[in-house]
Structure 1
């Protein structure tokens, strides 16, 4: 697959406001990973008008598309957590913080006892409903049965993570959707990462523990690539590495000449 990596494109939509890097200087750092803790992205825009700034509101939906003239895609969807504006020399800098999450009370608690022999998927669905989480994918190869029942007296989010761990799967929020599925399951975009499609340098091998299991994979850096996000399945085609991997975490960065995506991906 050959992708024309020229003509950088950045497009922001929030409420009635639309911004792009043709008319404005924009910078961003967008982290992503596969846990339920919302990631906080930072978007910096220079010299916005007072009218535009007045239309940036906490809790407002926010989306960021990035890529190239011939190939761009969504890298962030969430809601505005905060924004601030200050003078930097002769410029006016507005910094927007965005949570890649759906509106829900992360610290919400629940006290409830469930019946004997309840299954993990039923527990997760009920807890997600109580928390206000919309589940896009729920896949439990091991659907654990809690023979003695299950009791919760604490934060719902932690209980969902605990149950997912009992079943050997990961759970995370990405672009406003909740996914609970095996760590190695992902979204296959049939994307091959090589020197023609943006690969920078050589992939770096690593080993680490994830959910009490030993995982192996590669750290990879490329020119910004929206297809590389949480749970993306990509094929690495480097001189010394030929492998199919699943992205676990990483970040997209745009600042000055930096227009990169860096990820850790497991085999």
Structure 2
């Protein structure tokens, strides 16, 4: 029996919990595999003035979504700004949410690390300097800098450079930092097929990236919280049976539309 019935959406922030049973809610929640924080847009209609006044910049906001028997986290971030306007007979409150703590991409650091320092130690130190919590730090190659390492510039770029030296990708997801191989991810042992929400046929693609041919599929499904950056999914469709790793996508809820759209690589 399918669990994909009765849509459930919960929007939670300090002292406020909203759901799609009591309120009309819409959202577009993007996610990808880089260090640029993603900006999600959440609209809630006909909130009281008291509730609107509690949606302050800097407060943490999470969204759980799915179905009555199967829901999970699709957004964890911080309110960037909130606006309110009349939309016909309704009042629309628009909440913009960054999926990271406010991140100063231009923040610089001058620091020297001792000879023999390993990449993992430097990365942990740099993440701390940015105030980023680490969810996963698993380097394919934990490079040793025999002559030491000097940081003199933007911290974000240094994290990207060291990660690349070690054969890893780095990105922010649900307010946390992930540094690991592009081939690794979170295996939820989820099989996506027409029975579990796959919409239409996956679209195969190939592209050149850094001199390497990247192959994968563009996929659309009924909204699925398990599909996020780094998620590993078993894809079953006509002519397709493959294990793929999601690199980017978005969750959409607007009117009758309730879906997840992703690009996943082989």
TM-score category of the 2 structures, normalised to the smaller one: over 0.9
How big is the alpha-carbon RMSD for the aligned residues of Structure 1 and Structure 2? 1.4
Aligned-pair CA distance for 1:128: 1.1
Q: In the aligned structure 2, how far is the partner of 1:56 from the partner of 1:212? A: 46
Aligned-pair CA distance for 1:3: 3.8
Whether contact under 8 Å (1:108, 1:156) holds in the other structure is yes
Q: TM-score, normalised by structure 2?
A: 0.96
Residue in structure 2 matched with residue 37 of structure 1 by the alignment: 36
Q: In the aligned structure 2, how far is the partner of 1:210 from the partner of 1:55? A: 44
Q: TM-score, normalised by structure 1?
A: 0.95
Residue in structure 2 matched with residue 157 of structure 1 by the alignment: 156
Tell me, yes or no, if structure 1 residue 223 matches structure 2 residue 193: no
Whether contact under 8 Å (1:86, 1:94) holds in the other structure is yes
- Where structure 2 has 5 or more consecutive residues not aligned to the other structure, the ranges are none
Whether contact under 8 Å (2:229, 2:246) holds in the other structure is yes
Q: How does 1:172-187 map to 2 (within 5 A)?
A: 172-187=171-186
Residue in structure 2 matched with residue 77 of structure 1 by the alignment: 76
Q: How does 1:228-267 map to 2 (within 5 A)?
A: 228-267=227-266
Aligned-pair CA distance for 1:106: 3.3
Q: Is the deviation greater in 255-264 or in 150-159?
A: 150-159
Aligned-pair CA distance for 1:117: 3.4
Decide whether aligned partners of structure 1 residues 113 and 13 sit closer, same or farther in structure 2, where only a CA change above 3 A counts: same
Whether contact under 8 Å (1:45, 1:94) holds in the other structure is yes
Tell me, yes or no, if structure 1 residue 93 matches structure 2 residue 92: yes
Residue in structure 2 matched with residue 121 of structure 1 by the alignment: 120
Q: In the aligned structure 2, how far is the partner of 1:88 from the partner of 1:78? A: 26
Residue in structure 2 matched with residue 137 of structure 1 by the alignment: 136
Aligned-pair CA distance for 1:212: 5.2
Aligned-pair CA distance for 1:200: 0.6
Whether contact under 8 Å (1:109, 1:153) holds in the other structure is yes
Offset from partner CA, 1:134-183 (integer Å, 9 cap, x none):
21211112112233332222211111011111111111111122111101
**How many residue pairs align between the two structures?**
266
Offset from partner CA, 1:93-151 (integer Å, 9 cap, x none):
11000011135433321112223332211211111121111212111121122333322
Tell me, yes or no, if structure 1 residue 198 matches structure 2 residue 185: no
Aligned-pair CA distance for 1:6: 1.1
Q: How does 1:23-62 map to 2 (within 5 A)?
A: 23-62=22-61
- Where structure 1 has 5 or more consecutive residues not aligned to the other structure, the ranges are none
Decide whether aligned partners of structure 1 residues 212 and 163 sit closer, same or farther in structure 2, where only a CA change above 3 A counts: farther
Q: In the aligned structure 2, how far is the partner of 1:261 from the partner of 1:137? A: 24
SS of the counterpart of 1:202? coil
Q: Is the deviation greater in 124-133 or in 41-50?
A: 124-133
